[in-house]
Amino acid sequence: MKKYYQHFLLSFLTLICFSNSIIAQTQSKSEIDLPKLNGHKFITNSLIPNPFINSRISSNLGFASSLETEIPLLRFDSLISNNGNETIQLSADVGLATGAFEFSYAVQDWASIWVNFSGIGRFGTNTPTIFASGITANTTFETGMLFKIKEYKTSMISSSIKIENSNSTVLNIYEYIKNIIDSTNLNKNYLTQNYNPLSGSVDLRFAYAPSPKWSILAFIDGGYGELINIDSIENKFSYTVGGSFNYDLGLTTSLPFGIGAAFKINSNTPTLQYNKTATQTYMLQLIYTGGSDFLIGLESNYVRIPTRLNNVTINLSSFNLNWSYFFK
């Protein structure tokens, strides 16, 4: 059922794109420019969704590595005792690789549609970590529609509605061996498990530029759908909030660059497995703004993921390459 629904949406979005492309060919082309408010040129990043109605192609590639994480594991041969040491400490090297591609098309000056394909993998980069934390691979298809609510000289409010369908594969060596030794859950004891959760959400997006030099972006998102538990899929509510500050160096120096800082708080982990508390992400950004229709830059992220594995919090640092091309 999900596949038929996904194919229908793709066909519908493709039809709209081709119809508007034919109409656009009869109209004179105007100069393509980056999103602006109050003379300020806005820059985009991978944390905060774009609040502007425009046509663009964007991509993001990155890799993250853990910062001194230790994972306590219950010893297989341990016996319950008051003085015994039932756990061992493993020094974990956890990695996170990400990639995303998005196509957005403005069907009207007040509405746009988009599709997004992304992939993410959480894995250990040494043998003990692979054994302890396993490997999670996730691919996601997302589609939605963005509406402009109101635009002023210095600010704009927009809102979007979207659906998200993903495919996740989880390899859990530790739990698999532990269940065999304990002779528990053998009928549900799988080395690898595959999930296909579906969810939907609605958000509000805000852009504010009190000066041509700097701006603020913010959003809040609320959704409901299927999230991955340890060995099942559960229906749960989710939320995401975030904001960013951007400064255009080109207005005060001869450097055609912008700088930015952002944060995001998400009730889900990056791999869609719900966690103990919210995942926190902080970002610093340097981006080239010399082109009228193109942005490219580097992002440095710090990610804090509180996991359900023995109350361990994974801290990651990452670098991402992010670019966007705007067209009409």
Q: Structure pTM?
A: 0.77
Q: Which pLDDT score is estimated for 189?
A: 59
Which domains are delineated in the chain?
2-327 (2.40.160.40)
Name residue 115's amino acid. Answer: V
Q: What is the 3-state secondary structure (H, E, C) of the chain?
A: CHHHHHHHHHHHHHHHHHHHHHHHCCCCCCCCCCCEECCEECCCCCCCCCCCCCEEEEEEEEEEEECCEEEEEECCCCCCCCCCCCEEEEEECEEEEEEEEEEEEEEECCEEEEEEEEEEEEEECCHHHHHHHCEEEEEEEEEEEEEEEEECCCEEEEEEEEEEEEEEEEECHHHHHHHHHHCCCHHHCCCEEEECCEEEEEEEEEEECCCCCEEEEEEEEEEEEEEECCCCEEEEEEEEEEEEEEEEHHHCCCCCEEEEEEEEEEEECCCCEEEEEEEEEEEEEEEECCCCCEEEEEEEEEEEEECCCCCCEEEEEEEEEEEEEEEC
6 has a pLDDT exceeding 60: no
Question: Which residue has better confidence, 84 or 165?
Answer: 165
Q: Which pLDDT score is estimated for 230?
A: 59
Question: Which residue has better confidence, 100 or 195?
Answer: 100
Listed in sequence order, the residues at least 6 apart from 88 whose beta carbon sits closer than 8 Å to its beta carbon are 72, 73, 75
**Weakest mean pLDDT among 61-70, 83-92, 223-232:** 83-92
The residues that bridge with 92 in the sheet, in sequence order, are 69
State the average pLDDT over residues 206-214.
97
24 has a pLDDT exceeding 50: no
218 has a pLDDT exceeding 60: yes
pLDDT tens sequence across 28-47: 444 557 899 999 999 888 89
Work out the pLDDT band at 213, boundaries 50, 70, 90: very high
**Weakest mean pLDDT among 28-37, 83-92, 204-213, 240-249:** 83-92
Rounded CA gap, 101 and 328, in Å?
18
Q: How far is CA 94 from the centre of its chain?
A: 18
Work out the pLDDT band at 18, boundaries 50, 70, 90: very low
21 has a pLDDT exceeding 60: no
